[in-house]
Amino acid sequence: MLLSVSAGAQEPFPAPETLSYRIEWRMVTAGQAQLQLERAQQNWEIKLNLQSAGLVSRLFRIEDTYKVMASNDKFCGESSAFEAKEGKRHVTETEQFDNIKHKAVFDMHDLAKNVQEHHEVDIAPCTHEIIGALAFLRMTKLEPGKSMMVPIVNGKKMANARIEAQAKENITVDGKMYATTRYEAFIFDNVVFRKKGSMLIWLSDDAAHVPVQMRFQMGFPIGTITLELEKAGK
């Protein structure tokens, strides 16, 4: 039996929501992720929290927080703030979008090394950071075989990244089967991010368009990281 993620708990996207994910890496549960979407007057506030778990946490503890402000229902970037605590690494990053001058201003502070960076990047109208781009994808009705270009910035570089709808797929997560559409976001291999890799996203085919599963296939030594939906609600 195919399940609808939106049944009962979820409203048609966009609407306030909290999504909880299990992170799988090398056949073990490596951590948890929580993605929250809330209204902030005329804007949207998106929060992502990542935490390592189990053996991975004992070897290399990760506590990452990411907060985004995005305008209107296209999720155009307004600002972002990121704090990474990964092993001995402790970095904070902020990005401010000037949508009048079409600039993104990026500041990084490595607290462990006491190093700072400042960049200004030319951007297109309604440029997204990566989480806002995911929200924007959920707003579209991209059918398999179709693709679109989405302006995405990572603080140092803006690129028009291609997102391709590849196929309808029924996928099973925690013993539950969902009707989804699989997408690929071409953001790696020096498009937006320099690292080699690929990103696959499975969105539910109901009105909520929830990311049921996300998979990052990276080079050695990282390998494949998969986020699987555990809980969806308001």
User: Does residue 151 contact residue 137 with C-beta atoms inside 8 Å?
Assistant: no
With residue 134 as reference, give the H or E element that holds it. helix 130-139
State residue 54 phi and psi, 5-degree precision: 60, -140
Q: What are phi and psi of 138, to 5 degrees?
A: -65, -20
Calculate the alpha carbon distances from 38 to 43, 48, 136, 211, 217 in Å: 9, 12, 15, 17, 30
Contacts of 130 (CB under 8 A, 6+ apart): 152, 154, 187, 192
CATH code for position 50: 2.50.20
Q: Distance between alpha carbon 77 and the CA centroid of its chain, in Å?
A: 13
Listed residue (33, 8, 123, 19) closest to 76, CA to CA: 123
Task: For residues 215 and 25, give the distance between their C-alpha atoms in angstroms, rounded to a whole number.
Answer: 10
Residue by residue, pLDDT tens for the chain (234 residues) are: 555 554 444 689 999 999 999 999 988 899 999 999 999 888 999 999 999 998 888 889 999 999 999 998 899 999 999 999 999 999 999 999 998 999 999 999 999 999 999 999 999 999 999 999 999 999 998 999 999 999 999 988 999 999 999 999 999 998 889 999 999 999 999 999 999 999 999 999 999 999 999 999 998 788 999 999 999 988
The residue segments making up the domain with residue 86 are 2-233
Number of compact structural domains in the chain? 1
